[in-house]
């Protein structure tokens, strides 16, 4: 069964996180859970990947963090998207459309392309 290549998906972790933050601010575990459900369990983001994306994007000014205490009394770091983050998200979407457009031209559904010299 095919699995997602972490090299390929790496460039789009930011896009996924920013997409989830477009509507409402959120926190680490909720974001990872929504990525899992939205991808129908096809992609499970690692905690370390998620955290490094947060710190990187915060440094770049795409998101801001703040503390909030949850109903059960647990203090969590929430993240909200900034205007720079929205712009960056739009750029990433355009970039993906272009990438997808290019790569798809080379994807063959039926194995018609003969393999050379096996």
Interface residue list for another protein (CB under 8 A): 28-30, 32-33, 44, 46-52, 54-56, 59, 74, 76-77
Question: 38 vs 44, which CB is nearer to another protein?
Answer: 44
Q: How far is the CB of 81 from another protein (least distance, A)?
A: 18
Task: Tell me how far apart the alpha carbons of residues 60 and 98 are, in angstroms, rounded to a whole number.
Answer: 24
CB nearer to another protein: pick between 80 and 100: 80
- For residue 83, the minimal CB distance to another protein (Å) is 23
Residue 85 · residue 35 · CB < 8 Å: no
Choose between 39 and 49: whose C-beta lies nearer to another protein.
Answer: 49
Considering the complex, what minimum distance in angstroms separates the CB of residue 99 from another protein? 23
Residue pointed to by tokens 């129908």: 40
The span from the CA of 63 to the CA of 26, in Å, is: 11
Phi/psi for 35 (5° steps) reads -65, -40
Q: Which two tokens stand for residue 76?
A: 């969590």
């Amino acid at each position: 069964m095919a699995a997602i290549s972490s090299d390929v998906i790496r460039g789009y972790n930011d896009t996924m996180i920013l997409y989830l933050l477009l509507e409402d601010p959120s926190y680490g575990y909720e974001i990872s859970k929504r990525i899992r459900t939205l991808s129908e369990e096809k992609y499970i983001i690692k905690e370390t990947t998620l955290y490094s994306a947060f710190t990187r994007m915060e440094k770049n000014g795409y998101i801001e963090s703040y503390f909030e205490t949850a109903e059960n009394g647990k203090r969590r770091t929430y993240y909200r998207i900034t205007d720079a983050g929205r712009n960056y998200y739009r750029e990433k979407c355009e970039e993906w459309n272009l990438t997808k457009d290019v790569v798809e031209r080379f994807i063959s559904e039926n194995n018609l392309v003969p393999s050379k010299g096996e």
